[in-house]
């Protein structure tokens, strides 16, 4: 086979024709093409010129695509080409037509269809979540009947990973929130000479609402995503399919241990976060208003009824179970690819935090007369 010739374009101004020369092939472009020179030669050809392609030695789809793009996706008004080269250019023309369709304009029917799809998807998620709750209740009944067969080692491991390891970050965030709240309240209470009421405000807000809510949001972002990622990786590695083939229940071995662990850990983490927030508020109150920690600790039991603490622990347990169920739900829905794993983890965190806030609002409405 003779060596390839460098592709080039010569414009005959007298005849008004463009005369491509050389081998317009992938090998010719890779070995001998001077891209800057070729680009200048193509730009020097006027738009209405005729093209004489008979001087091209060899032509493949790479060279044909370059010519076709230079022509703007349409044949020139006048051209000469051999039958073999015409066939290649015709194929490029055929497949270049498969472009993305134009984006349709806005229409109310499309918006209604999209809303309907979102509603159906939400109903599907709700249905699967209700099924997961029902399966959890059945597995819990199985646990009560045969506690010796329960996966206690998994429960203890999740207790440590989701509860004990979350204590530093929850304490730090709770302490800082307590400091910020106390400083802001001090600015307002000092105007009315009501500095002592900071104990009541901090006690009610932190013990009843902010402590459990902060702990739940942090655990949802930290442990909820971990649950989804763990189960999602099992889906990617086909471990879930292997468990199903061996007759091992996903609910009993995966969902139940995580739900039990978070149901036990969340009230304790919420109390820990509340104590850290109260410590931060106590320190800020001492620095800004001179309220000593001894007075704060003495006035707190009288300012806050014990029912608020029990309510906070009760809803924290509900938060923990819901976070575990949502994390397992999205983990079991992961498809065997990394993109689905990332999307499922993100959706799990967003769903868990949203559910925590909604449930907290429901508790606030239902128990508005308790402990106030």
- As a whole number of angstroms, the distance between CA 271 and CA 206 comes to 10
The model carries a pTM of: 0.68
pLDDT of residue 327: 92
Q: Which of 101-110, 234-243, 307-316 has the highest mean pLDDT?
A: 307-316
Flag the least confident range among 95-109, 231-245, 320-334, 337-351.
Answer: 95-109
pLDDT of residue 25: 79
Burial class of residue 361 (count of CB atoms within 10 Å of its CB; 0-12, 13-18, 19+): exposed
- pLDDT beyond 50 at 59: yes
The string over 130-168, giving b where at least 16 C-beta atoms fall within 10 Å of a residue's C-beta and e elsewhere, is eebbebbeebbebbeeeeeebbeebbeebbebbbeebee
pLDDT digits (tens, 9 = 90+) for 144-196: 898 888 888 989 999 999 989 999 999 999 999 999 998 888 878 877 777 77
Flag the least confident range among 18-32, 39-53, 88-102, 201-215.
Answer: 88-102
Question: Residue length, the chain?
Answer: 372
Q: Say how many Å lie between the first and final Cα of the chain, rounded.
A: 94
pLDDT of residue 32: 55
The residue ranges of every structural domain in the chain are 8-96, 118-366
- Per DSSP, the residues of 206-219 read IIIIIHHHHHHHHH
- As a whole number of angstroms, the distance between CA 83 and CA 18 comes to 19
- pLDDT band for position 1 (cuts 50, 70, 90): very low
Residue 221: strand, helix, or coil: helix
As a whole number, the mean pLDDT across the chain is 85
What architecture is the 8-96 domain classified under in CATH? 2-Layer Sandwich (3.30)
Dump strand ranges (E) for the chain.
8-12, 17-24, 50-52, 56-59, 79-80
**Higher per-residue pLDDT: 75 or 355:** 355
């Amino acid at each position: 086979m003779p060596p390839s010739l460098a592709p080039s374009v010569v414009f005959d101004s007298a005849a008004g024709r463009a005369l491509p020369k050389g081998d317009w092939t992938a090998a010719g472009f890779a070995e001998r093409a001077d891209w800057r020179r070729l680009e200048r030669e193509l730009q020097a050809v006027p738009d209405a010129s005729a093209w004489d392609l008979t001087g091209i030695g060899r032509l493949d789809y790479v060279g044909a695509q370059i010519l076709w793009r230079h022509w703007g996706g349409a044949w020139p008004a006048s051209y000469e080409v051999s039958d073999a080269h015409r066939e290649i250019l015709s194929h490029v023309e055929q497949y270049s037509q498969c472009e993305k369709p134009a984006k349709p304009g806005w229409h109310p029917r499309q918006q209604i269809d999209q809303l309907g799809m979102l509603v159906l998807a939400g109903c599907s998620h709700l249905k699967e979540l209700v099924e997961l709750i029902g399966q959890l209740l059945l597995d819990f009944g199985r646990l009560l009947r045969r506690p010796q067969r329960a996966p206690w080692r998994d429960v203890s491991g999740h207790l440590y990973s989701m509860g004990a390891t979350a204590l530093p970050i929850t304490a730090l965030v709770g302490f800082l929130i307590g400091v910020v709240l106390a400083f802001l309240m001090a600015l307002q209470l000092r105007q009315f000479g009501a500095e002592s009421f900071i104990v009541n405000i901090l006690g009610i807000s932190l013990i009843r609402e902010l402590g459990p809510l902060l702990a739940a949001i942090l655990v949802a972002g930290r442990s909820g995503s971990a649950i989804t990622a763990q189960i999602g990786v099992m889906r990617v590695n086909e471990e879930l399919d292997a468990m199903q083939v061996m007759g091992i229940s996903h609910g009993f071995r995966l969902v139940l241990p995580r739900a039990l662990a978070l149901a036990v850990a969340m009230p304790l983490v919420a109390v820990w976060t509340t104590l850290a927030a109260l410590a931060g508020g106590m320190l800020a109150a001492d620095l800004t208003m001179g309220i000593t920690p001894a007075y704060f600790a003495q006035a707190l039991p009288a300012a806050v009824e014990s029912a608020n603490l029990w309510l906070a622990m009760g809803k924290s347990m509900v938060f923990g179970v819901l976070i575990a169920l949502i994390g397992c739900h999205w983990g079991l829905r992961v498809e065997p690819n990394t993109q689905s794993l990332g999307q499922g983890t993100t959706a799990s965190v967003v769903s868990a935090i949203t559910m925590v806030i909604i449930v907290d609002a429901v508790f606030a409405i239902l128990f508005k007369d308790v402990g106030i």
